[in-house]
């Protein structure tokens, strides 16, 4: 409640998510908790990356960089993107800012932004900040929330300006089928809409192809790709992301980027360069750890009666169907916290399509996952 303070409609209409409710409840809880609601790697940033930042700071690389980012970083990013050059890349403060600026640049006021759900809640807020209307489209639950072209195409109208695609997906762990992405992107282009392709979980794929969505589509000029160092390199706190796409769009994004944050942190950009161009062994080790944990999680879920989950194909989330348990999703999550000390993210925090699910993050070590799943299992066995 903002009392007498006048707040713009676009900001007042932005809701706090159910995930936040759990976070606040966890912070207020006394006693030990197993935190499985987290959306970030539990690993520290690789040593050589941190060293590069120290070195940059010590040697005076502490000034503004050019608005679009350091040329050598833009080049390193473009080298990893088929058909793109440094001019097609703008470095941002996390993938978050890339998404926000992309939305402001291509989602016209009053237009519709189609968001397949369950989805990361910030897309809807970002659409509203662009004075556009988020249209949440529930993906078919019986297919484990796979990208269904028919459902998506049905949701597109003359008002559609943007279609958001996230693969690997937070919270479902799905990796979208190439042909489905192609069909959805073709339909978006017919509506003169852009696809914003969120690929911040690329590199964390266990099943299916780990490729850029733009590589599947007929017209990559209609795709704006969001990526970031956060998840892949365990660099959430450094806040480095980027947007890549056709140069004229990137130029416009860079123009407003100048007025919002000017440029991403110079020291963090040096760290990002080291992450992308330096040794990849630490990244491979983290990937292997995620893979091992994923196997453990799939096995545990398989042995608990009355809950199920499609094996996650990517990212580090299992999306657990707890619809057979009594009560709504938030109350199940609260009970699990209160009575078993396990914190999860309630699925309805990712749109109504996620009601009846809990998102469990396996960005946690095996002993912690074991305690977490012991708690989940104990709750389920009490209830059914």
Q: Which residues in this chain contact ligand PLP in the complex, by CB under 6 A?
A: 39, 94-96, 120, 166, 170, 198, 200, 228, 230, 236, 241
- What's the min distance (Å) between Cβ of 122 and ligand PLP? 7
- What's the min distance (Å) between Cβ of 80 and ligand PLP? 16
- What's the min distance (Å) between Cβ of 39 and ligand PLP? 4
Helix axes 329-340, 18-28, angle to 10 degrees: 20
Closer of 228 and 364 to ligand PLP (Cβ): 228
Closer of 65 and 375 to ligand PLP (Cβ): 65
Task: Report the C-alpha gap between 202 and 244 in whole angstroms.
Answer: 14
The residue nearest ligand PLP at its CB is: 94
Closer of 200 and 333 to ligand PLP (Cβ): 200
Closer of 102 and 379 to ligand PLP (Cβ): 102
CB atoms within 10 A of CB 369: 22
Closer of 67 and 170 to ligand PLP (Cβ): 170
The residues near 74 (Cβ < 8 Å, ≥ 6 apart) are 68, 86, 87, 89, 90, 91, 242
Q: Which residue's structure tokens are 């676009």?
A: 10
Nearest to 331 by CA among 315, 320, 318, 347: 347
- What's the min distance (Å) between Cβ of 98 and ligand PLP? 8
Closer of 40 and 251 to ligand PLP (Cβ): 40
Closer of 94 and 346 to ligand PLP (Cβ): 94
Task: Report the C-alpha gap between 96 and 240 in whole angstroms.
Answer: 9
- What's the min distance (Å) between Cβ of 230 and ligand PLP? 3
CB atoms within 10 A of CB 154: 11
The two structure tokens encoding residue 360 = 């469990």
294 within 8 A of 312, measured Cβ to Cβ: yes
- What's the min distance (Å) between Cβ of 338 and ligand PLP? 26
- What's the min distance (Å) between Cβ of 139 and ligand PLP? 15
User: Which residues on adjacent β-strands are paired with residue 314?
Assistant: 205
Closer of 116 and 241 to ligand PLP (Cβ): 241
293 within 8 A of 369, measured Cβ to Cβ: yes
- What's the min distance (Å) between Cβ of 180 and ligand PLP? 18
Give the phi and the psi of residue 357 in degrees, each rounded to 5: -130, 155
Sign for the pseudo-dihedral over CA of 143, 149, 153, 156? positive
Task: Report the C-alpha gap between 217 and 226 in whole angstroms.
Answer: 16
Give the phi and the psi of residue 122 in degrees, each rounded to 5: -70, -20
- Say whether 218 sits in a helix, a strand or coil: coil
């Amino acid at each position: 409640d903002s009392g007498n303070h006048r707040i713009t409609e676009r900001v007042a209409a932005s809701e706090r998510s159910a995930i936040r409710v759990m976070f606040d409840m966890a912070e207020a809880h006394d006693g030990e908790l197993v935190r499985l609601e987290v959306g970030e790697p539990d690993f520290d940033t690789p040593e050589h990356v941190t060293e590069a930042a120290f070195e940059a700071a010590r040697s005076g690389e502490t000034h503004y960089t050019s608005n679009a980012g350091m040329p050598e970083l833009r080049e390193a990013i473009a080298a990893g993107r088929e058909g793109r050059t440094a001019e097609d890349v703008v470095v941002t403060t996390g993938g978050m800012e890339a998404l926000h600026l992309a939305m402001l640049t291509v989602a016209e006021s009053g237009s519709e932004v189609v968001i397949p759900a369950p989805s990361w809640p910030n897309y809807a807020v970002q659409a509203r900040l662009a004075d556009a209307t988020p249209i949440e489209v529930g993906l078919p639950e019986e297919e484990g929330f796979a990208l269904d072209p028919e459902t998506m195409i049905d949701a597109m109208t003359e008002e559609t300006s943007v279609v958001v695609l996230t693969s690997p997906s937070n919270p479902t762990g799905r990796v979208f089928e190439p042909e489905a992405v192609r069909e959805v992107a073709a339909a978006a282009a017919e509506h003169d809409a852009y696809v914003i392709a969120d690929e911040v979980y690329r590199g964390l794929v266990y099943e299916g192809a780990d490729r850029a969505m733009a590589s599947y589509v007929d017209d990559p000029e209609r795709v704006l790709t969001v990526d970031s160092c956060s998840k892949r390199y365990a660099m959430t706190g450094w806040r480095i992301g980027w947007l890549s796409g056709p140069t004229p769009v990137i130029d416009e994004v860079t123009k407003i980027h100048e007025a919002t944050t000017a440029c991403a942190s110079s020291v963090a950009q040096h760290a990002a360069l080291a992450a992308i161009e330096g040794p990849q062994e630490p990244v491979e080790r983290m990937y292997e750890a995620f893979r091992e944990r994923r196997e453990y999680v799939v096995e545990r879920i398989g042995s608990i009666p009355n809950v199920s989950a499609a094996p996650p194909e990517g990212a580090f989330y299992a999306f657990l169907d707890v619809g057979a348990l009594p009560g709504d999703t938030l109350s199940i999550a609260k009970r699990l916290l209160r009575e078993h000390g396990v914190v999860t993210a309630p699925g309805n925090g990712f749109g109504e399509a996620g009601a009846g699910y809990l998102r469990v993050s396996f960005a946690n070590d095996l002993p912690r996952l074991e305690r977490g799943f012991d708690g989940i299992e104990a709750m389920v066995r009490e209830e059914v």
